[in-house]
Chains A and B, each alone.
Chain A
Amino acid sequence: MSVNALDVENVSVSHNGVLAVNKISFSVQEGDLLGIVGPNGAGKTTLFRAILGLQNYQGRIKLFGYEGNQYTALLSMIGYVPQKVNFEPNFPATVYDVVAMGILSKKKLVKGATLIQSCGCCWNRIFASSSKDSEKIEEALKIVELESLKNRRISELSGGEQQRAFIAKALVKEPLLLILDEPVTGVDMEVQNKFYSVLRKINKENKITIVWSSHDLAAISDLANRVACMNRELFFHGEKDEFFANKDLLKTYSESAMQLHMHKHDL
């Protein structure tokens, strides 16, 4: 018996009486790379915050089939990279320090692993289970290619490098699920491409389930196997090819994103 990594059932979120997310339902299978598209203000971040327990919502959300206390226990095994991490610019943390913050205590790791095994899911560890914390940190830095910058202050890095450091921080906890909220918006092409190759690597090689929102349709068509399209409501959820074959959908709900996509191909 295999359970979905994530089930979102009829989830609604309202901010001061205005519906930011309206009755959205979808599920993510283990190993999926789900790309979520939708214009700015479509409620993508709000939906992620609901999944992460940072936002009150109506409806049900299940992680590996679990709700309630077990959901909360598994929450710490989600890797989350927000659009922008707001930290004090003077914070005296090196890249290594930041990645080290992601290390999950043994107790939480064991509890999460037990829950996952009991529901029949397979948990693909990124690092050898015997490796020490310092080895895990080094390995995560290697995956995002930041080893040479590990002793630099996080504030001295460029935006794209910072996002890679935060991805390493999310990876070092050996996540069951990785949630990425427009992680490379506003970052130059070269860094974006490097980021995309990292994404492909952790999804294909480490079999990490990923939910990823982006405006970059070209990248989504390259990397994702499934696509969800939302603007407060869910307009589409299914196989990638089906989404890209549906010109009406593309035109109506991703016009601005589409222009970006065309522009990129003109270059």
Chain B
Amino acid sequence: MNLDILSYGFMQRALLTGIVVAITCSMIGLFLVLKRYSLFGDALSHVAFGGIALGFFLNIYPIWTAFAVSVSTALGITKLRKSTKISGDAAIAVLLSSGFAMGVLLISASHGFTIDLFSFLFGSILLTNVQDTLLIVAVSCGVIATLIAIRKPLIHFTFDEEQAKVHGIPIEKLNYLFVALAAVTVIATMRLVGILLISALIVLPNITSILMGKGFKKTILISISISVTAVIVGITISYYFNLAPAGTIVMLMVAMFVGTLAAKHAGLFSKNVLQEENNPLTNH
């Protein structure tokens, strides 16, 4: 097997976007998972689909409409949840179905099925053009830089909202910023795995790395490594064996999760427990 895969422009673009998106998803995903918002990304991707359909309907570059619709919906639902106390899972169900319904409706209304529904559902990483690549990379880098800048208050806020508030962190503003970043990330991710599989990229690398019992920094680095590996290997395998890239990437992540779970079960990460027995301070 030679590396002719890298000589194609579409492959270079696919790998570049894939890697950047994988890093962004891992970072934002860890906070989503810890805040028990795991399915929020899924709901937002369905809303983004509605936004894309709106773009086609109005004849505007669909990514822009997707950005506008998802970010405003994400902020709106956060505000609504605060004032009406709708439970998180119900809010996600409403978002998910209404966003998707809007998409299907608008696509049917724009006549002529020139839009490839399949590529939105399952991703079209190999079809990414130069304009899309630049946009996705720029947006992802923006999200990564913002997350790095707000990491300290964001970690505190995710750990314990009330303590963060007493600590003087403006938790409401922070929450809106975070939700907007999540919405932007979802749109950047749609190209890679499609709206139906976005949750996998947000959740799987993070629950796998959380299993390993490390601190925050290591957990996020492990999560990033898992998802970048899955993206590179997944795209490569899908190229050589002519498989769907999105499915391959997600299945690789599932395999790593199951493998880690089995390893944990077999006691591979239990070094700490053994140390504890020899530690007089912990023997109460």
Contacts and interface: CB of A to CB of B under 8 A. Distances in A.
Contacts of B168: 72-73, 75-76, 104, 108
Interface string B205-218: 00001100111111
Interface stretch (B16-24, B155-163, B244-252): B155-163
Contact of A92 (B219, B276, B282): B219
B123 to A, nearest CB: 29
Interface stretch (A62-70, A124-132, A143-151, A245-253): A143-151
Interface range for A: 35 or more
A151 B215 contact: yes
A54 B272 contact: no
B162 to A, nearest CB: 6
B90 to A, nearest CB: 21
A101 B219 contact: no
Contact of A76 (B34, B160, B166, B281): B166
Contact of B160 (A78, A85, A191): A85
B159 A54 contact: no
Interface range for B: 20 to 34
Interface in A80-118: 80, 82, 85-88, 90-94, 96-98, 101-104, 108
B34 A88 contact: yes
A52 B210 CA distance: 32
Nearest to A90: B210
B167 interface: yes
A80 B166 CA distance: 8
A79 B279 CA distance: 29
A148 to B, nearest CB: 5
Interface string A179-190: 000000000101
Interface string A3-18: 0000000000000000
Given A80-B163, A90-B34, A188-B284, 14 more contacts: A53-B166, A54-B162, A54-B166, A72-B168, A73-B168, A91-B159, A92-B209, A92-B213, A92-B214, A92-B216, A98-B159, A101-B159, A153-B215, A173-B167
